[in-house]
Amino acid sequence: MIAEHPTKKWSIEEFHRLGETEPWAKHCELIEGDLIRKMPEGNLHVYLVNILIQWLRQTFGYEYVRQEDPLRYQDDRNEESEPQPDATVLKFHLSAYLDKNPGGDNVLFVAEVAESTLQDDLVRKAALYARADFPEYWVLDISGRQIYVHRESREGRYTSLEIYGQEQTVSLLSKPEIHVEVKTLFPPETELV
């Protein structure tokens, strides 16, 4: 008979203490109490994050957009999460979050750029962000050159998923009058040599 040992569930406080003593922990996210190692970022990932952040800051203002900074969420099972989405748009000025990381009702938009993490971003992160009640979640798929747009969080899941190809335009739920051509968020294909 093999004994089952439950995996330790980390709290945000424990995760922060670990980060102070263990350098490797700085390369992890806390997702539902589990430590998840973040994948190394390639040049395409860095490019897309920077282009997306630039567009979001032009749209919302520099003071409302965070890049790869942690958010806070605790689910009904008391499992804590501190994901670090590639882009976040906040409801209030950055200075409102000096004493703690923002959570669900303070977030208008989150996005992940997927180079080698597409399945995780579309499944695990989508479920987490829906339970946190983030109203809009985009996944920029590098290899597919498309954007998965999740909206309408209900009962812990997104009820709307639309996929936008590079010849389409997409708008933001919180600013529907603002449109962006999908292809402008990706590098020209001629540069992908």
pLDDT of amino acid 5: 47
DSSP 8-state symbol, 48: H
Rounded Cα distance, 83 and 129, in Å: 9
How many whole angstroms separate alpha carbon 148 and alpha carbon 4? 38
Model confidence pLDDT, tens digit, residues 137-173? 999 999 999 999 999 999 889 999 999 999 999 999 9
Residue 103: the pLDDT is: 81
The CATH code belonging to domain 41-191 is: 3.90.1570.10
Contact 171, 144 (CB under 8 A): no
Question: What rounded mean pLDDT belongs to the chain?
Answer: 87
Percent of the chain with pLDDT over 70: 92
Most confidently modeled range among 5-9, 38-42, 46-50: 46-50
What single-letter DSSP state applies at residue 45?
H
* DSSP calls for 103-139: -GGGEEEEEEEESS-HHHIIIIIHHHHHHTT-SEEEE
Domain spans, the chain: 41-191
- C-alpha dist (Å) from residue 112 to 5, 13, 167: 32, 24, 20
Report the pLDDT value the prediction gives residue 149, as an integer from 0 to 100: 98
Report pLDDT for 85.
94
Average pLDDT over residues 3-14: 70
Give the per-residue pLDDT at 77. Answer: 66
pLDDT at 58 over 60: yes
